[in-house]
Amino acid sequence: MLQSPTPKKRRRGRLFRFSSALVVLLAVAGYLLVQYVTGGRGGPGCKVVSGKDDGQAYEFSQEQTMNAATIAAVGTGRGMPERAVTIALATALQESQLVNIQHGDLDSLGLFQQRPSQGWGTKKEILDPTYAAGVFYEHLAKVDDYQQLPLTVAAQRVQRSGYPEAYAKHEPEAALLSAALTGQAAATLTCQGLPDTTRTAVGPDAVRAALVRDFGRTVLKETGAEVTRGGSASKGKSKAKAESTPTPSASATGGSSTVTLPVRSGSTRTGWQLAHWAVANSSVLHIERVSYAGREWAAGSADDPWHSTATKASGGVRIVTSQQAGEK
């Protein structure tokens, strides 16, 4: 005859079931939190390392890195110093983990969790990373001596957060991202470059449009680019004339196009910013290779990032991109 469990055993059974349920609940909560913060995006696909050979490195998703590149490009286009870019990146890391989320506390939105009700812009504007970064820099520029202030103080004077100390913990990773994405540190940013199959706009026109979107027309002007297809050349504007700012050119062979971004002699920092920007955007723009200053990055070569090339290519930053969406 089977004996009924003792009260002690029943308590142990209930405790075990409760503990198991709690573990499952915490796991689900953790998963939902990750989905909330990242919008369900995948894991790390990019890596930034220190240019000082001190072993410091951080990993980010391709989307995070692309948003970081936009923030850095907007800052450069506005003539903001590297310190401003670091402050902006640390702020976005704290507010959204560099993911353009469409929700937050009250009516907060986007990379910087800016609020339409507080005069930051419309919902559509705030969810545009280029606009969001620009309006952040506008407010930061009004902070007296922000470059000399501790990062968390400068960020707080813009954001007015309920947790002002939280920005400081992101300064190390923001500093590495800033050094790479402003071109201060060479060959320090790599990405897997797996193509985003949802994109339909690829090729040289998409690359140029993205460059103008992030950097502004005063940095990269759309004039007279030449595209070669099937052995014939077609030119853009016939009124192309000499300008002080180098202009992009493009050529196409087979299934790929090459966009060349001229870089003035002695402007290697600009060159590396453009090169790292291209790597950060490699997934959405289907960029296969980026070459600059005798170094080359290739999509899918995470084990051998930015290897040396046999010859030092001239003509600035060369970006090779697929001509058709989904083509690798």
The secondary structure of residue 165, as a DSSP letter, is G
Q: How far apart are the C-alpha atoms of 296 and 309, rounded to whole Å?
A: 6
- CA dihedral 289→77→248→314, nearest 10 degrees, is -60
Order of strands, sheet of 189-191, starting from the edge strand that comes earlier in the sequence: 57-60, 46-49, 189-191
- Interior/surface letters 16-54, b for 16+ CB within 10 angstroms, e for the rest: eeeeeeeeeeeeeeeeeeeeeebbeeeeebbbbbbbeee
Crossing angle of the two packed helices 171-181 and 62-77, in degrees rounded to 10: 70
Q: Beta strands of the chain (E only): which ranges? A: 46-49, 57-60, 189-191, 226-229, 232-235, 249-253, 256-261, 287-292, 295-298, 307-308, 317-322
Percent of the chain with pLDDT over 70: 70
Q: With bands split at pLDDT 50, 70 and 90, how would you rate the model's confidence at 246?
A: very low
pLDDT digits (tens, 9 = 90+) for 83-95: 999 999 999 999 9
Q: With bands split at pLDDT 50, 70 and 90, how would you rate the model's confidence at 325?
A: low
Look at residues 121, 98, 93 and name the one whose alpha carbon lies nearest to residue 108.
Answer: 121
Q: How far apart are the C-alpha atoms of 100 and 110, rounded to whole Å?
A: 5
Q: How far apart are the C-alpha atoms of 258 and 239, rounded to whole Å?
A: 23
Average pLDDT, the chain: 79
| Cβ 190 vs Cβ 306: under 8 Å | yes
SS3 133: helix
- State the CB neighbour count (10 A cutoff) for residue 78: 14
Average pLDDT value for residue range 234-253? 42
Query: pLDDT higher for 132 or 20?
Result: 132
Which residues 6+ apart lie within 8 Å of 11 measured at CB?
A: none
Which residues 6+ apart lie within 8 Å of 281 measured at CB?
A: 66, 69, 210, 287
The model's pTM: 0.78
Q: Which residues pair with 291 in a beta bridge?
A: 296, 318
Q: How far apart are the C-alpha atoms of 209 and 286, rounded to whole Å?
A: 14
Tokens describing residue 295 = 């170094």
Q: pLDDT at position 268, please?
A: 92
For residue 135, pLDDT beyond 50 = yes
- Amino acid residing at 254: G
pLDDT digits (tens, 9 = 90+) for 99-117: 999 877 788 999 999 999 9
